[in-house]
Amino acid sequence: MSELTKEQLERQDFVDNYIFNMVNDLVPDKYRIDGYIADDPEPVLGNQPLEWDIEWISEIREAVQEIIADKLLSAIRSDSDKFEMEFYPYIKETK
């Protein structure tokens, strides 16, 4: 079985942490309660960072990757298909 290199793992950590921090920066404090986005827009506890959740981080990562690779790079580069592995390295499953 193949393994990711240290550099590839660091790239994954960088991308996931960047997305997590970006979302935390974008969510106004008054919408946070105990680490989750509140249903009620009234300020309660606020200023709590969101909890790490790889599921929503992955959804955002995939959307960003798709926008960059498919919409931006494909228009200007012929090798935009290589971008996916460079953006967020992974081990390709073999059949």
Long-range contact list for 34-42, CB < 8 A, 24+ apart?
none
pTM here is 0.74
Percent of the chain with pLDDT over 70: 68
The pLDDT of residue 41: 55
Higher pLDDT, 28 or 26: 26
Q: Which tokens in the block code for residue 4?
A: 């990711």
Mean per-residue pLDDT, 19-23 = 91
- Using one digit for the tens of pLDDT, what is the confidence trace for 35-64? 556 565 554 455 667 788 999 999 999 999
Do 50 and 27 contact (CB within 8 A), yes or no?
yes
